[in-house]
């Protein structure tokens, strides 16, 4: 019995509190099952999802009047608690924090609700710590060197056993013991930050916080150099030779690792599409030195000024990269696709290819728009023989897009922030990143290849690491509806309590041209589950497809590498027996769990570093006035998104009068109960603070009309 099943049983309305022996008897458990249930119950208790009474009986935390959620602290000493399932928010005064720190997961209990004020709660138990490291400054306090966090939302003072610290030193600090009852906390000094600029200090702190690797170990670099030999005749002889086929790569201007290439031909009324992916598995063998490091990293991490790659550069930018004009080993998915976008036949096989051209998204997009904007084609005459070939790509891509739309897939179109840096890594420009047609073409081709490979492995009854995106949780749907209903937008469940992707797309279509489009799209996205990896084909809600995996990026994603290995194993004449299949399944499970966790870490780190670099850029504009929109709200203030997509905070304390946040309606009212702010409202603000080390922008409200 897994943890989800146990939690479901304990949360049932007719469940009566039982101890382990009573559970074993009531649920008719074998001795082995009872041990598994005991282990899972202990883990659920550690996660704060169930509670043990004094008599050792297990109950839902709801029975104890407890809520599970996350603390966000304010530098003035108080905090806010956000309940995990409902996203409801509660004020927590300093005396009730029980030494909880920012981002801690805690169990809390409702204390009071007074008039229109925020509901108040108190922390009952800290489940897990969200703040594990920080940047601190060494100061003298009561005659001793003491470390004070630069981020004032981290409470308390800390001591260190490092006796070489001197006043004024800035240090990267890892928390060993948290402050409690006004006692000092204890830290290990990981390194000095004194000689770095603020942005580098902040990024280094992010890397420490998320335990991100920097350099590869020497033995990994040596193994990678040894593995990265040129393609041999023997290797070519064991593969299908596609070097005479017209194949190109299409990537961003600054790309260096080319892990996918494309070929296309007309076939009757349909098409033959070839998606050729770098055969990383040929060079990175299961269990070897490189593989262990790649498994630990699980994904490449991308910052505006640097990349933390999954594989050493000699592989990722060298022998595994499908560079123009050189022989490269690949895994090819060759698909026959009819005029409706359906794959009618396919082959998946090891190949050797030679990319004819290294194309960029910008160049291909200009070629595709040449009839509407003929001046854009200037300088691209060398590709004239390929113009109609790229047209064929666009033609098939449009068919695949329509096919996905017809089956009910969700199409989010978010503006993305692009941060430009100079040769020293300093942020020099912020801009909205605009997707062009060429990017859409490649995305469609990667999607259809991933779907084809996933379905292939499913019907082979082979193990697979699927990319799954489960149905949105009811809490997420309700949270969206709370905010969206005043705007005549609502996600509706059917009579069986189910929701379908098409309903999401209908709302997205309604939002076209709506002043609240960006804000509502964000809320819509937040209402959904987070995509992850699993060894079960649980479907992909957003794509509205049953079978989906990641096959197309083995240079930067570990699950893709594992999928390649499984494909190759099932190409052998002798298929795996049950014992080997079990081993492959277990390896896939480990990879799925590891990669899901590492992906979340990478996304969080990338988001924080983007924030740091944005603040680095905005620091020169302190005192300036900007147009923005309210992108979110909590008990202490408003989140403001500027037109350049940077986001900052406007505290209620900076406003005249008293303001209260109502989480059910997602509005802020003044002391006269009048609605003053809603999500999506346009607003004019003045930038008053830009703190690079904390990644924080603070605004004040500016009177007057929104400026054009």
pLDDT at position 551: 98
Q: How confident is the model at residue 254 (pLDDT cuts 50, 70, 90)?
A: confident
Q: Is the dihedral of CA 701, 417, 514, 530 positive or negative?
A: negative
Closest by alpha carbon to 201, among 703, 691, 704?
691
* Positions of E strands within 568-681: 625-634, 637-642, 647-651, 659-662, 667-670, 675-678
Distance CA 359, CA 354 (A): 14
Residue 163: half-sphere exposure toward Cβ, Cα within 13 Å: 0
pTM of the model: 0.84
> Domain 3-62 maps to which CATH number in 1.10.10.10, 3.40.190.10, 2.60.40.3140, 3.40.50.10490?
1.10.10.10
The proportion of the chain whose per-residue pLDDT surpasses 70, expressed as a percent, equals 98
pLDDT at position 458: 98
Distance CA 334, CA 276 (A): 8
Residues 383-442: tens digit of each pLDDT: 999 999 999 999 999 999 999 999 999 999 888 899 999 999 999 999 988 889 999 999
Distance CA 181, CA 179 (A): 7
Could you tell me the fold of the domain covering 65-128? Answer: OB fold (Dihydrolipoamide Acetyltransferase, E2P) (2.40.50)
Q: Which residues pair with 662 in a beta bridge?
A: 667
Distance CA 223, CA 271 (A): 41
Distance CA 450, CA 439 (A): 16
Residues 579-610: tens digit of each pLDDT: 999 999 999 999 999 999 999 999 999 999 99
| CA distances for 435 relative to 282, 369, 442, 450, angstroms | 33, 14, 12, 21
Q: Which of 102-116, 569-583, 617-631, 674-688 has the lowest mean pLDDT?
A: 102-116
Residues 100-138: tens digit of each pLDDT: 999 899 999 998 765 445 589 999 989 889 888 898 999
Scan for tokens 């998320």, then name that residue.
210
pLDDT at position 116: 46
Same fold for the pair 133-195 and 622-701 = yes
Residues 279-327: tens digit of each pLDDT: 999 999 999 999 999 999 999 999 999 999 999 999 999 999 999 999 9
Q: Which residues pair with 159 in a beta bridge?
A: 186
In this predicted structure, the answer to whether residue 707 has a pLDDT above a threshold of 60 is no
* Positions of E strands within 255-312: 260-267, 270-278, 301-303, 306-308
* Positions of E strands within 119-196: 120-128, 133-141, 144-149, 158-160, 170-177, 185-192
Residues 68-87: tens digit of each pLDDT: 999 999 888 999 998 887 77
Give the tokens for residue 609.
Answer: 């570093």
What average pLDDT score do residues 685-693 get? 95
Q: Which of 111-120, 461-470, 553-562, 630-639 has the lowest mean pLDDT?
A: 111-120
Q: Which of 255-259, 502-506, 536-540 has the lowest mean pLDDT?
A: 255-259
Q: Are 693 and 201 in contact (CB under 8 A)?
A: yes
Residues 13-51: tens digit of each pLDDT: 888 889 888 888 888 888 888 888 888 888 888 778 888
Q: What is the 3-state secondary structure (H, E, C) of 409-472?
A: CCCCCCCEEEEEECCCCCEEEEEEECCCHHHHHHHHHHHHHHHHHHHHHHHCCCCCCEEEECCC
Mean pLDDT of the chain: 91
Closest by alpha carbon to 420, among 561, 305, 542?
305
The proportion of the chain whose per-residue pLDDT surpasses 90, expressed as a percent, equals 66
Q: Are 58 and 19 in contact (CB under 8 A)?
A: yes
Distance CA 567, CA 492 (A): 40
Could you tell me the fold of the domain covering 622-701? Answer: OB fold (Dihydrolipoamide Acetyltransferase, E2P) (2.40.50)
Residues 156-193: tens digit of each pLDDT: 999 998 778 889 898 999 999 999 988 999 999 988 88
Q: Are 660 and 603 in contact (CB under 8 A)?
A: no
pLDDT at position 117: 52
Per-domain residue ranges for the chain?
3-62, 65-128, 133-195, 218-467+543-608, 471-528, 622-701
What average pLDDT score do residues 572-577 get? 92
pLDDT at position 31: 82
Give the tokens for residue 258.
Answer: 């080319």
> Domain 133-195 maps to which CATH number in 1.10.1760, 2.40.50, 3.40.50, 3.30.460?
2.40.50
pLDDT at position 115: 47
pLDDT at position 704: 53
């Amino acid at each position: 019995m897994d943890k989800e099943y146990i939690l479901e049983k304990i949360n049932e309305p007719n469940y009566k509190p039982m101890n382990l022996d009573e559970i074993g008897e009531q649920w008719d458990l074998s001795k082995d099952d009872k041990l598994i249930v005991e282990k899972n119950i202990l883990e659920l208790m550690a996660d704060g999802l169930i509670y043990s009474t004094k008599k050792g009986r297990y109950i839902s935390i709801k029975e104890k009047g407890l809520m599970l959620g996350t603390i966000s602290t304010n530098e003035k000493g108080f905090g806010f608690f956000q309940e995990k399932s409902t996203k409801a928010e509660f004020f927590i005064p300093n005396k009730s924090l029980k030494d909880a720190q920012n981002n801690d997961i805690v169990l809390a209990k409702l204390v009071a609700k007074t008039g229109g004020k925020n509901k108040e709660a108190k922390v009952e138990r800290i489940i897990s710590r969200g703040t594990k490291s920080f940047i601190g400054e060494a100061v003298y306090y009561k005659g001793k060197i003491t470390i004070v966090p630069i981020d004032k939302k981290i409470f308390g003072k800390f001591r260190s056993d490092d006796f070489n610290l001197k006043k004024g030193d800035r240090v990267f600090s890892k928390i060993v013991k948290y402050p409690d009852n006004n006692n000092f906390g204890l830290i290990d000094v990981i390194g000095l930050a004194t000689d770095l600029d603020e942005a580098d200090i902040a990024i280094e702190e992010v890397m420490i916080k998320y335990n991100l690797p920097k350099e590869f170990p020497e033995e990994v670099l040596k193994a990678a150099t040894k593995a990265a030999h040129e393609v041999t005749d023997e290797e070519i002889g064991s593969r299908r030779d596609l070097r005479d086929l017209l194949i190109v790569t299409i990537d961003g201007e600054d790309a260096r690792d080319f892990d996918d290439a494309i070929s296309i031909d007309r076939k009757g009324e349909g098409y033959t599409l070839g998606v050729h992916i770098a055969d990383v598995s040929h060079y990175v063998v299961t269990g070897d030195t490189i593989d262990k490091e790649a498994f630990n990293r699980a994904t490449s991490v991308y910052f505006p000024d640097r990349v933390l790659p999954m594989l050493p550069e000699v592989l990722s930018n060298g022998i595994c990269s499908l560079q123009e004009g050189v022989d490269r080993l690949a895994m090819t998915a060759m698909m026959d696709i009819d005029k409706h976008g359906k794959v009618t036949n396919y082959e998946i096989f090891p190949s050797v290819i030679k990319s004819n051209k290294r194309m960029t998204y910008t160049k291909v997009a200009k070629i595709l728009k040449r009839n509407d904007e003929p001046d854009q084609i200037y300088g691209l005459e060398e590709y004239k023989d390929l113009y109609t070939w790229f047209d064929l790509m666009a033609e098939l891509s449009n068919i695949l897009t329509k096919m996905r739309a017809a089956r009910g897939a969700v199409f989010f179109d978010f503006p993305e922030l692009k941060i430009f840096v100079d040769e020293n890594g300093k942020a020099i420009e912020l801009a909205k990143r605009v997707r062009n047609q060429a990017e859409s073409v490649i995305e469609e081709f990667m999607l259809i290849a991933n779907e084809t490979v996933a379905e292939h492995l499913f019907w082979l009854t082979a193990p697979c690491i699927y990319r799954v995106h489960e149905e949105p949780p009811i809490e997420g749907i309700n949270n969206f509806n709370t905010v969206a209903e005043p705007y005549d937008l609502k996600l509706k469940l059917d009579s069986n309590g189910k929701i379908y992707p098409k309903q999401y797309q209908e709302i997205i279509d309604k939002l076209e041209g709506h002043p609240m489009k960006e804000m509502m799209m964000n809320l819509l996205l937040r209402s959904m589950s987070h995509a992850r990896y699993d060894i079960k084909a649980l479907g992909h809600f957003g794509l509205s497809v049953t079978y989906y995996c990641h096959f197309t990026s083995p240079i930067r994603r570990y699950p893709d590498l594992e999928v390649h290995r499984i494909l190759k194993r099932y190409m052998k004449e002798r298929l795996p027996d049950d014992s080997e299949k079990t081993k492959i399944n277990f390896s896939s499970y480990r990879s799925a769990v590891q990669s899901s966790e590492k992906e979340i870490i990478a996304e969080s780190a990338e988001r924080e570093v983007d924030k740091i670099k944005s603040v680095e850029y905005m620091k020169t504009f302190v005192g300036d006035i900007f147009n923005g929109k309210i992108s979110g709200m909590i008990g202490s203030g408003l989140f403001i998104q500027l037109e350049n997509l940077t986001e900052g905070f406007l505290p209620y304390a900076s406003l005249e009068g008293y303001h209260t946040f109502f989480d059910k309606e997602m509005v802020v009212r003044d002391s006269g109960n009048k609605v003053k702010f809603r999500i999506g409202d346009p607003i004019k603000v003045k930038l008053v603070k830009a703190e690079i080390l904390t990644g924080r922008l603070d605004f004040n409200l500016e009177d007057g009309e929104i400026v054009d």
